[in-house]
Amino acid sequence: MLDVDGVLTDGGLFFGPSGEESKRFFVQDGLALVAAQQAGLAVAVISGRASAAVTRRLSELGISEVHQGVPDKSAVLEALMSRLGVRAPEVAVMGDDLPDLLLMRRAGLALAPANAVDEVRRFAHWVSRRRGGDGAVRDAVELLLKARNAWPPA
């Protein structure tokens, strides 16, 4: 399970002259997310904000569990676990800020990008060397898939 702003993106918000929002995604994160799905991992995104850019990018990556504009991320995580038939110890969550801590506490594996706030980095079981939107998701997926001997060969 991934947050968006600060995890899949650098956390910056960009607004065009007509008010349209754009976000920057890191292509290597995308490749890793496709590899995760091909290895049989379910990938889900839960974000407090809603963005057409997120919808488009995650659709390109084949991620169908995209939950945006969510005020209560914990309720969505619980519903996902129930629907997918997974228990909390089987869930990995990557978050970067305080609203993600409840999810990280619930998960068996709490992950954070290098640019996460202090409270999140201290709680995380593992912190990437890379920042959100700049390869942190790639690092986390590689970690998980290599542990399962499922990372694609070079």
Contact 141, 126 (CB under 8 A): no
Domain ranges of the chain: 14-147
The first and second tokens of residue 152, run together, are 């694609």
CA neighbor of 116 nearest in space, from 103, 102, 98: 98
pLDDT at 154: 58
Q: What share of the chain is helix, strand, coil (3-state, %, to 5)?
A: 40, 15, 45
The first and second tokens of residue 128, run together, are 């990437």
* Second-level CATH architecture of 14-147: 3-Layer(aba) Sandwich (3.40)
pLDDT at 152: 84
pTM for this predicted structure? 0.94
| Distance separating alpha carbons of residues 6 and 122, to the nearest angstrom | 16
The number of helix segments (H) and strand segments (E) in the chain equals 6, 7
How big is the chain, counted in residues?
154
Q: What is the pLDDT along the chain (154 residues), one digit of tens a residue?
A: 999 999 999 998 888 898 888 899 999 999 999 999 999 999 999 999 999 999 999 999 999 999 999 999 999 999 999 999 999 999 999 999 999 999 999 999 999 999 999 999 999 999 999 999 999 999 999 999 999 999 987 5
